[in-house]
Chain A
Amino acid sequence: MKYIDEFRDRDLARGLAAAIAAAADPTRQYRLMEFCGGHTHAIFRYGLADLMPANVRFIHGPGCPVCVLPMARIDHAITLATQHGVTLCTYADLMRVPAGERRSLLKAKAAGADIRMIYSTSDALRIAREDPGRQVVFFAIGFETTTPPTAVAAKVARAEGLENFSIFCNHVLTPPALRTILATAGPDGVRLDGILGPSHVSTVIGSQPYGFVPQLFGKPVVIAGFEPLDVMQSTLMLIRQLNEGRCEVENQYTRTVTAEGNRKAQALMAEVFRPRETFEWRGLGFLPDSALRLADDYADLDAERRFAVTIGEVREVKGCECPAILRGVKEPTDCKLFGTVCTPDNPMGSCMVSSEGACAAYWSYGRFRYDH
């Protein structure tokens, strides 16, 4: 695995840490938001915070699709499986996310619902092919990165005439979420100086869509890869921009990201999906044009249209600070439930569920850093 090792080299890391320490102006603060859970995970897993000067701080953003999925959508999926008797196919990290009334997909499965953990959309298609008498629903989730495979699944199902396959679409878009966070930044919201942008998303949509961040909000962006050295190099690039008073979208992840992104994937998405007028993000509320549904041409594959489901109001666990944490306003340790009632074994909020969630990363990797 030479390819990976190059991005985890200890000497290179030391060199970068020294460069960051030299570049960081001790008279100012560098509050850098990593948008993506992948970055949060790398920062904790490799102990990167230890390698930063005290005035360079990472602020965790909302970039984990599991964390931002509102409870009502999980309830919706559980209802599909329990009341409509469908076979629900989903990625493993969704299984334990708490839904309303302390339910979860895992608990629904244990109670007898047919919920299958899959590793790719082709597993869901195969399950549908093998059991034509049963309705199979693919629980699609993720940012722009995972959207093209869902589009392909829709096209394959259409081409094969798979009538028992449909998609419960929960794909969300990153730029509107970032816009919301920045719009509420300031005294009441999060205070931040720069953004580590999501690289896998940009592999699909390119770096261009983040141009509004420097233009409208005056904050620099560096599209950053997920390897620890990527995160460090991107941090250095942000510090340099801030020091030099520059404010632009820079691309650290040139291995795969271009300004325009992957045109073919974009065309595929444009064919199969349409933006939703509004969609709820856990922690950020209802955001316009921030999520996708199936286009009218593919309406027959839309599980939301195929099965009528109504969900009552779902209330978050009292005291859970996930919303504020997802906006970068609070830290996990600010939550009273953190580490007392809420742990990865017994998650109360979504930030504790996915290993990319800020609370889980703090708890699993970093809790020796503060007093108990």
Chain B
Amino acid sequence: MDNTITYREAVREAIRKAMSEDERVFLMGEDVGNYGGSYAVSRGLLDEFGRERIIDTPLSESAFTGAGIGAAMNGMRPIVEIMTVNFSLLALDQIINNAGSLLHMSGGQFNVPLVIRMATGVGNQLGAQHSHSLEGWLSYIVGVKVLTPATVQDAYDMIGLALSDPDPVLVFENSLLYNSKGSLDTKSTPIPIGKALVHRPGKDITILTYGINLFKALEAAETLAKDGIDAEVIDLRSLRPLDDETIMKSVAKTHRVVIVDDGWKSGSISAEIMARINEQAFYELDAPMARVCTLEVPLPYAKHLEDAAIVQVDKIIEMAKKVMVQS
């Protein structure tokens, strides 16, 4: 049986499964119903589950995200879709001051079992207000969990994991991955939240990444292998909590690190990871840690400028070689 499906279909199947199994699960967001989802993730779900559970919202990110929190506090398992991560900034008050804080400031009385899905990613010439990766930045928030599925399997598994978690979980789906294909095993046990995955074992250098850059890193690793450099590629999967154990184990093995991150350098998740390695595994390092990030500009429209601003396979290769030479 051919079980190869797209990332988009994997997310949709996970939502469909959750909604079929639990009447408390519903989907709410802009264009999720009649339009079928701005990235066509929810296409067909309105016909299947009806208007009461596939809810089109007005352009009111703060209110419908807050409504998701309220519904979660009152016994439901809402999935809120925010069209792109850029729009999540309008809902930051609700995400930080309510979703992330309620359990603690209520002395443990009110947890928020809410899932917020957002499309993220740089590229496609969308310009400075529709083309950013802010998930590293959102992973700064305590009280929420941050997942970044890269593979079809994780796109499916992480929706289920997020829904069964008692706390608010932000799931970042890279919009450039929606058409990517992969095989899906719906019967396998999902790798838990907070666990990174070694995608390609290697002994010379560790490349830490997540989301779409996993594939760029794997491609870079193949080229590096031809030059005799054996790179270990790790998919972080979860930015909060970060899997320190897997990271440090790999550093202890390869002694060299490159972090690949779609965020801007300053204050990014790559900066956090560097700090942690410095705190926990400094003496394992044979060379200064390095990183490949998005240049510190609002994303430009013109293709050549955009390409120059974002992570590319050759930049990863170049950086890895530089680290190898330094050690």
A-B complex is real: no
Chain B interface residues toward A at CB < 8 A: none
Chain A interface residues toward B at CB < 8 A: none
